[in-house]
Amino acid sequence: MGTGYKVAVFGAYGHTGRFVVAELRERGFEVLAVGRDEVKLRDVAGPEIELRQATIGVAASLNRALEGADAVINAAGPFAETGAPVVEAALRAGIPYLDVAAELEANIDTFADFADRAAGMTVIPAMAFFGGLGDLLVTAAMADWTSADEAHIAYALSNWHPTTGTRAAGQVSRDRRGGQRLRFSGGRIERRDDALPSLDWDFPAPLGKKAVLGEFTMADVVTVPSHLDIPEVVTYMTVDAAREVVGPDTPTPAAVDETGRSSQTFVVDVVVRSGGEERRIVARGQDIYAVTAPLVVEAVERVLDGRVKASGVVSAGKMFDADSFLTALAPHVTVEKLA
């Protein structure tokens, strides 16, 4: 049975975009597959999928691509290039915009550039594994706390075979940073020239202690502080995964099941501290790219159904009830509160 909603997916033929299209169809949405390459778009043709070519630099083509859509999901990176034009098209069309951007700079730009223009509308950046999931986990861990001293989000990936889009987005970010790195401390984004700190993180059983890079800054440092009073937000990545994602010879993800998921598994360990108290929550699942699909599709479904708590440019933790959202992600993501 259909939902009665039609969702445009920009970048529908990309690695993550294909997962998003499949999840939308599984839930009964009509899909408008949108992309820059008309030939690649034909690869996602199927029943109840309408194909529309659009060019980022041509506003009229984006307007035509979104005609009749109830919402748009932007899955086409680098988001530094696609984010603003697709947000603007969504605002012109008067429909919600969600993206799966992991690029810090792109997320920072979306919050900064559209805060006023998107008033009364819905713009949700980073509604993905990086940015969205971490934000929901921190928000759920906070529970009745109105503020905290620090939040730590540690990622343990069994491997990280990057997509072509991940590599392209990473290069854009490195170019924009000019060799520097970013971290969130003292309530603001800082630029640093020093090396990332190395340490051991004690993940929940059965993982145990793993070598991680501290201040391996991901989109969570944008989404979490956008609505939570936490002056120190730090993200960590297991050393082996961090090396793989930038390794020139690391292969792209290989499917191991009929859904297209890879064998990659993940653990996201979140610790929030306030005074002498500590709260901890952990999420486990398979394939960070594939799991982005239920995250963003659950979000668009809740937006269209009116199950939201805010408007404007907001992150997942502010827009939705974090506990019920995380529960709805089962069986894709298993979430456990440890403290």
- Percent of the chain surpassing pLDDT 90: 96
Query: Which residues neighbour 5 within 8 Å (Cβ) at sequence distance 6 or greater?
Result: 29, 30, 70, 71, 301, 304
Tens digit of each residue's pLDDT (9 = 90 or more) over 136-189: 999 999 999 999 999 999 999 999 999 999 999 999 999 999 989 999 999 999
Strand pairing partners for 180?
Answer: none
pLDDT for position 1: 58
Polymer length of the chain: 339
Residues 21-43, mean pLDDT to the nearest whole number: 95
Sheet with 97-99: strands ordered across: 49-53, 30-35, 6-10, 71-74, 97-99, 122-124, 312-313
Strand ranges in the chain using DSSP code E only, listed in sequence order: 6-10, 30-35, 49-53, 71-74, 97-99, 122-124, 150-157, 181-185, 188-192, 198-203, 208-213, 232-238, 265-274, 277-286, 312-313, 333-337
Return the SS3 of 228: coil
Q: What is the mean pLDDT of residues 10-29?
A: 97
- Please say whether the dihedral angle defined by the alpha carbons of residues 191, 195, 199 and 202, taken in this order, is positive or negative: positive
Q: Which two tokens stand for residue 66?
A: 């979104």
284, two tokens: 């486990």
Instruction: Report strand pairing: 277-286 vs 333-337.
Output: antiparallel
Q: Both tokens of residue 8?
A: 């445009």
- Residue whose token pair is 């530094």: 80
With vertex at residue 128, the alpha carbon angle to CA 123 and CA 131, rounded to the nearest 5 degrees, is: 80
Please, which residues bridge with residue 210 across strands?
201
Contact 124, 315 (CB under 8 A): yes
- Sign of the alpha-carbon dihedral angle for 42, 44, 45, 49: negative
In this prediction the pTM is 0.97
- Whether 3 shows a pLDDT value over 90: the answer reads no
Q: How far apart are the C-alpha atoms of 179 and 8, rounded to whole Å?
A: 36
Number of Cβ within a 10 Å radius of residue 136: 31
User: What share of the chain has pLDDT > 70, as a percent?
Assistant: 99
Range 247-253 average pLDDT:
96
Best CA proximity match to 289, nearest among 169, 124, 192 = 169
> What's the rounded Cα separation, in Å, for the pair 80 and 324?
31
Per-residue pLDDT tens digits for 50-97: 999 999 999 999 999 999 999 999 999 999 999 999 999 999 999 999
| Amino acid occupying residue 99 | D
Return d(Cα 171, Cα 332) in angstroms, integer: 30
3-state secondary structure 281-322: EEEEEECHHHHHHHHHHHHHHHHHHCCCCCCEECCHHHHCCH
What helix, strand, coil percent values describe the chain, rounded to 5?
A: 35, 25, 35
Task: Report the distance separating Cα 218 and Cα 68, nearest Å.
Answer: 34
Closest by CA to 333, choosing from 279, 271, 280, 265, is 265
pLDDT at 249 over 70: yes
Tokens of 94: 């008067």
Strand partners, 272: 151, 279
> What residue ranges define each of the domains in the chain, with the CATH number in brackets?
6-128+292-321 (3.40.50.720), 130-288+323-337 (3.30.360.10)
Distance of CA 76 to the CA centre of its chain: 12
